[in-house]
Structure 1
Amino acid sequence: MITTTRAIVFSSIKYGEADLIATCFTLTDGLKTYLLRGILKSKKGKLKTSYFQPLMQLEIVANHKNKGTLESIREAKVSYPYDSLHTQILKSSIVLFLAEILKNTIQEEESNEHLFQFLESSFQWLDTNETEPNFHILFLLKLTQFLGCYPDPSNAHFQYFNKAEGVFQESDPIDYCETGAHVKNFKRFFGINFDSLNDLKLTKSERSRVLNLVLDYYHLHLQGFKKPKSLLVLNQLFN
C-alpha cells in the first residue's frame, strides 16, 4: 500500500556497501523499518543520506506491505528543517540520547497521533530555543504518559518515591523506594512545560541523580529497557 505520511527518524544503520536500514516513527502506521537501497552511493536519487539523521522530521511516500518485513521509501523530503539540532554539540548529544531511548521504548506499529505530535513539537522546541540542560529529563517524564507508566504525583508531598508503583508515599516498606534531595528535585518536573525549564536550576550532580532515577524507573516499567550507550557522552558534555 502506497502511503504518504510524516515520519520521525529514530535510527539508521549501514547495510552492505550502499544501503541503509532506517527505523522511523510514522504518523499513519507507527513504527516502521525501511531498507533504503543504494542510498549511500546515489547522488541523484530522491533519497538523501542526510535525511535520515536521528530525529529528522520528514514527509515520505512509502510502500507499506505490513507483513513484518522491511518496507521501502519511494520519496522523502524534510518537513521541518532544523536550524541547530544537528549542528550544536550539546543539542546533538541530546538528540542521540533521546533517539536511542525512543528506539528502545516505542514499539507500536499503529497510528498514535498524540504521541507523534508530542515528539514533533518537543524537537521543534529544542531546535528553536537555547540549549536547556534539563530538557531531556522533562521529555522522559512526559514520554511516560504515552508509554502508559506516568508516575502519580497526587501525593508528592510525601518524601518517598516508590519506583515500582510510581507513587509517592509516607514510608519505605520495600527496596524500590527512594528519598532525598534527588526525589525533591524530581518532583519539580511535574506540572511544568518546556518553557518553564529556565526557572529550574540544578547542579550537574543534582541533574545526574534525577536522570538516573528516571532511567531506573524506565527500567522497572518497560520490559527490556537498557540505559542508553550515549548516556556517558551526554553526562560528560553537561558536566
Structure 2
Amino acid sequence: MIRTVGLNKVFRTDTIETSALSNVDIAIKQGEFVAIMGPSGCGKSTLLNIIGLLDAPTSGSYTFDGVEAGRLSEPQRTAMRRGKVGFVFQNFNLVEDLTVRENVELPLVYLKLSYGERKRRITEVLNRMQLSHRMDHFPKQLSGGQQQRVAIARAVVSNPMLILADEPTGNLDSKTGTEVMLVLTELNQAGTTVVMVTHSERDAAYAHRIIRLHDGNVVVAEDVKQQVVIV
C-alpha cells in the first residue's frame, strides 16, 4: 500500500540547504498499524506529510495505493488524498466557530455527497465515537479527549484507507490518551491502516511495527515485542 525507495527531502532557501530525509526505504501493508519514532527534528513529520500527500519528495520514489505519488502535481495529490487519507493532529485542528456536526461534515462537503448521505455518515461516526450527544456543541465546550475524538471522527467519516496521526495523545493526560489509542486500535482492527508519529513508547506499543528515524535516516524497523492486546 505504501512504499518508498531512496526517498529524499531537502528544504532550500537562498543561503541554506537542509536535508530532512535521506534514502528512506519503507514498506507498509494495508491493514498495518505502524508507529514512527525518533528524536525531535529527525524527519518524522516530514515523512508523514509525504505519506499523506501533503508534500512531495525531492527525489526517490513514493508509491501509494499502486500509484507513483511522488511525481504527482499538488492538485493531483489533493484529488488523490480526498476520501483516501484522514489526518489526526496533536492540536486537534478543529474549527472553533463550527459545531461538532459541522466539523465532522467538512471532508464530506469536498466529496460532494448528498445531504442525506452526509447526515447518515455523521450520525454513524459520532455514535461510534460516543459523541452523538455533543453534535451541536462547539469545540470550546468539550474536554481535550472529546475534541480529539471529534478530530478522529472527522478523519474517518470519509471512510479512508489510511489514517495518519501526528502525536495524537501529545496534549492529553494519560487516561484520556489511552482512550484515544483504543479508538485508533479499534479502527485498525476494522481494517484501516494507521501510521502514527509519536514520542511515546507506551503509545507505540499499540502498533504492530515501529520505524525509528535519526537525522532523516531509518535506523531500524522492528516488530513491537510487547504489543498491547485489545480484547
The higher relative CO (CA closer than 8 Å, separation ≥ 6) is in 2
Same fold per TM (> 0.5)? no
* TM-score (normalised: structure 1): 0.28
* TM-score (normalised: structure 2): 0.29
